[in-house]
Amino acid sequence: MSFDEKCYQLLQRVPKGRVTTYKELAEAVGIRAYRAVGQAMNRNPRLIKVPCHRVVCKNGEIGGYALGVKKKIELLQSEGVEIKGDRVVGMDGILYRFSSQ
């Protein structure tokens, strides 16, 4: 399985209404290059299958999105995630940790 495939698989593990960080995702994949994860997300070859919008910065900021940060916010809000400005509200509570499993 390729690096990107692992990222997508783990990302799909994140339940609706929850979010994760590039760091957590990278750690789950087995690397420490959070940026590489973002790269795979940005390429987004499986946008329909991979909820890249559930990946946010550690500080709660949206970070970025292939279709635009605004779109990402709307998608997250549609899933029940509260967004204030360009940051996730209470992201510390909805943050999904792969380590929990």
Partner DNA sequence: CGCAGTCTAGCAC
Partner DNA sequence: GTGCTAGACTGCG
3-state secondary structure the chain: CCHHHHHHHHHCCCCCCCEEEHHHHHHHHCCCCHHHHHHHHHHCCCCCCCCHHHEECCCCECCCCCCCHHHHHHHHHHCCCCEECCEECCHHHHECCHHHC
Q: How far apart are CA 71 and CA 64, in angstroms?
A: 10
User: How many residues make contact with DNA (CB under 7 A)?
Assistant: 31
Enumerate the active-site residues.
52
Closest distance of CB 86 from DNA, Å = 11
Please choose, out of 25-33, 74-82, 84-92, 93-101, the segment that lies near DNA by the rule CB under 7 A. 25-33
Of 31-90, binders to DNA (CB under 7 A) are 31-36, 38-44, 52-53, 55, 57-59, 61, 63-66, 72
- In the complex with DNA, the residue whose CB is nearer, 35 or 101, is 35
Footprint on this chain of DNA (rule: CB under 7 A): 2-4, 21-23, 31-36, 38-44, 52-53, 55, 57-59, 61, 63-66, 72
